[in-house]
Amino acid sequence: MKTIYVDNNATTKVDPQVVESMLPYFGELYGNPSSMHIFGGKVAHKIEEARTQVASLINASAEEIVFTGCGT
């Protein structure tokens, strides 16, 4: 029997490409990007790269992209 999940309002399966892209941040690059040390700075740099990528996808400037820590 095939299972169909219909409660995506509560939680949604993460796309495999997203999981693959995020793996380094669960084990290697987990530093606080707001920290002043090099370990956190590496993560801050990756966040700025992501901000630029998102901006180019929606024809916006990077300064207009704000990432939040939750869904609200």
Residue 71 has pLDDT above 70, yes or no: no
Q: Is residue 37 classed as helix, strand or coil in its secondary structure?
A: coil
Mean pLDDT in the chain? 90
Q: Which domain holds residue 37?
A: 33-65
Flag whether 60 is in a domain: yes
Flag whether 46 is in a domain: yes
Per-residue pLDDT reduced to its tens digit, 41-69: 999 999 999 999 999 999 999 999 999 87
Single out the residue of 59, 40, 62, 39 nearest to residue 51, CA to CA: 62
Flag whether 54 is in a domain: yes
- In the DSSP assignment, the letter for residue 47 is H
Contact status, residue 67 vs residue 49, Cβ threshold 8 Å: no
Give the CA diameter of the chain.
53
Flag whether 7 is in a domain: no
Calculate mean pLDDT across residues 34-47. Answer: 92
In total, how many domains does the chain have?
A: 1
Flag whether 49 is in a domain: yes
- How far apart, in whole angstroms, are the C-alpha atoms of residue 65 and residue 72? 15
